[in-house]
Chain A
């Protein structure tokens, strides 16, 4: 698996949304459903840092939804809660 070679990619093969990677396998590239809209998905909240970190680059930027496949509604929630967490110096 080419994506495993990258130092930044810590998630290995179980991840369904590899971060900004040109080498990501095709099956992830064309995944359509939003990972936050399925049943039993975690709640987007500014206190849930671990979740928010998944949707940020290593430099602390918010990842675009075209890479993470998050739907528009959830992306808005995400960006709001990331900004709240930033204000509290949590991330």
Chain B
């Protein structure tokens, strides 16, 4: 069993319902392949650093997955042909960091560490 972090970037014009659908679709795919979803996070609509396929923004969905490696194969095969998605990325990790929320609104996280200097962006 391996631990993976999996991130999807969906197009900017996907509705919240569609995003839910996407999340469900891929969670089901994971469960079908003997995997387990430890956590899902929705980072919401974020500005992209550069334009991807004429999109300036993207909705980010983040999964933390536990399971065998063939899950990732299956997931990426499906994501590559999904027209709603702009990017996907999988990272294998040794340990999940379930506490750190880097993308929640008004996170206290950054206030603690970096104070006022990094308010830009």
Query: Which residues from chain A sit less than 8 Å from chain B, CB to CB?
Result: 10-12, 14-15, 42-43, 45-51, 53-54, 60, 84, 86-91
Q: How far is the CB of B57 from chain A (nearest CB, A)?
A: 10
Residue of A nearest to B46 (CB): A90
A49 touching B102, Cβ below 8 Å: yes
The list of the 5 closest CB pairs from A to B, nearest first, reads A89-B48, A47-B102, A89-B49, A50-B118, A91-B49
Cβ–Cβ contact A84 & B89, under 8 A = yes
Footprint of A on B, CB under 8 Å? 7, 9, 46, 48-50, 52, 58, 60, 62, 86-87, 89, 91, 97, 100, 102-103, 110, 113-114, 117-118, 120-121
Contact flag A90-B117 (CB < 8 Å), given A43-B97, A50-B110, A84-B89: no
Chosen A-B contacts, 21 in total, with CB atoms closer than 8 Å, are A10-B117, A10-B120, A11-B117, A14-B117, A15-B117, A42-B113, A43-B100, A45-B97, A47-B62, A47-B100, A47-B102, A49-B102, A50-B114, A53-B118, A84-B89, A87-B89, A88-B7, A88-B87, A88-B89, A89-B48, A91-B49
Q: What is the distance, in angstroms, from B18's C-beta to the closest C-beta of chain A? A: 20
Instruction: Collect the chain A residues with CB atoms within 8 Å of residue B46's CB.
Output: 90
